[in-house]
With several copies, the nearest count.
Chain A
Amino acid sequence: MEPVKRIEIVVAEFVLPDLFEILKRRRTGGYTVATGLSGRGDRGVQTGEGTAGEFANACVVIACPEAAITDLLDDVRKLLKLYGGMCLVSDAMWLKH
């Protein structure tokens, strides 16, 4: 096993393409995405519904080496400032295979 950072980003679904672009630019490697989430935050309640998913959030989880995250978090911060959301960073062990 290998120590990594576990980054968990929640944004509105429509922000995902921009977030993916950041992840591509920062070459963080893999990620996993859950869509159709609801939530509450500074911008009120998101119900996870709406005929075009207007009120749905998505959560992106990224496991990556600590070294790779500074630039990434910089870009993510700007995105969150513009569109809202949250980003948590914690420690985890990656099972090598």
Chain B
Amino acid sequence: MSYNPFSTLLDPAILFFFFGLFAGAVRSNLSIPPPIAKFLSLYLLMAIGFKGGVSMASAGLTWGMVAALGVALFMAFLVPAYTYWFLRSRLSAFDAAAIAATYGSVSAVTFIAAVAFLEQQGVAFGGYMAVALVLMESPAIIMAVLLANTARSRNPASNGDAAVMPSAGKILHEAFTDGAHLLLLGSLAIGFITGDAGKKVMDPFTGNILKGMLAFFLMDMGLLVASRIRELRLNAKVLAAFALVAPLINASIAIGLAYALGLGVGDAFLLAVLSASASYIVVPAVIRYAIPEANPSLYFSMSIAMTFPFNITLGLPLYFAAVTTLWS
């Protein structure tokens, strides 16, 4: 092959991520005001959801769509299950469940970076992949909460405060009405309803300036990652290894399934990225509340300080190289 997928490391948005990392590493006082960071995050969710909805509107129900969503859903159950099983003997049930939720769920920003990657490479993919993103968000969370509840009921020592533990209904409510999750879903629906007419009026906002907004957001992520890396104390080396190896395993499984089902290159790549990515917005929002016994400096730090930077820098070109090699 004559081209180099690692050339995307020279994309402005990715470079701003590196710049953020650098500024954080030299302890610059550079910072994005938190309300802006939140707005950028909402903007990205809106843009990606809307875009996916629009492209679904013009597409019919195809085998590729059914197969891709099937793989997505399968991975959403497989990853948390095997992660929990693997970590249970090494960590508390609560920490194992929290990490399972984190790696079983997905990162919308990693997905957006992957979409930008594909567009840069000129490779097509299905609009329904945004639906895959939505579908993969919740199953792992719900599994993790159930696992934690089981563990909790077996351990009467911690039952003294059961009175204030949120009820199962409340937690399900949290998982399904979380703002990030709902906005993605809502934008997808609105994109689907308004289709090309909607796209025409929204595109200067949701399309044209997306790269710049993403660059700003990734700069902030770089700053955040740098500060989290500094505090990272993963006593168990196995966790550090997990944070870097799990993405490779999950991506490989997804690629294998996509190949077996005859999906296209773009869809296979995005399924790999989704499976490899770990949540750092929706999952912590729900898990801190639902499994307070779990230690965020494990599950959150692994996700944000190791898996996220790995995926958007080395992961994307790696998965893409794997897919194009296999498919060619």
Contacts and interface: CB of A to CB of B under 8 A. Distances in A.
Decide if A and B are genuine partners.
Answer: yes
Interface of A: 12, 14-15, 18, 36, 43-45, 47-54, 56, 75, 78-79, 81-83
B40 A52 contact: no
A79 to B, nearest CB: 6
B164 A79 contact: yes
Interface of B: 31, 34, 37-38, 40-41, 161, 163-166, 179-180, 217, 220, 224, 227, 231, 281, 284-285, 288-289, 292, 296-297, 300
Contacts of B300: 54
Given A52-B38, A52-B180, A53-B34, A82 B292 contact: yes
A14 to B, nearest CB: 5
A14 B288 contact: yes
Contacts, number: 56
Contacts of B281: 51-52, 54
Which of A45, A47, A75, A82 has its CB near the most chain B CB atoms (within 10 A)?
A82
Given A12-B288, A54-B300, A82-B292, A18 B38 contact: no
A48 B34 contact: yes
Contact of A49 (B34, B179, B231, B285): B34
4 closest A-B pairs (Cβ-Cβ)? A51-B41, A78-B164, A49-B34, A82-B292
Contacts of A51: 37-38, 40-41, 217, 220, 281
B48 to A, nearest CB: 14
Contacts of B165: 82
Contacts of A56: 34
B161 A52 contact: no
A82 B292 CA distance: 6
A93 to B, nearest CB: 22
Contacts of B180: 52
A14 B286 CA distance: 9
A38 to B, nearest CB: 10
Contacts of A44: 231, 297
Nearest to A52: B281
B34 A75 contact: no
Given A44-B231, A49-B37, A49-B224, A18 B166 contact: yes
A74 B284 CA distance: 27
Given A50-B37, A52-B41, A82-B164, 4 more contacts: A18-B166, A44-B231, A51-B40, A54-B288
22 contacts: A44-B231, A44-B297, A45-B231, A49-B34, A49-B37, A49-B224, A50-B34, A51-B38, A51-B40, A51-B217, A51-B281, A52-B38, A52-B41, A52-B179, A52-B281, A52-B284, A53-B38, A54-B281, A79-B164, A82-B161, A82-B165, A83-B292
Contacts of B217: 51
Nearest to A84: B292
Contacts of B37: 49-51
Contacts of B179: 52
A31 to B, nearest CB: 17
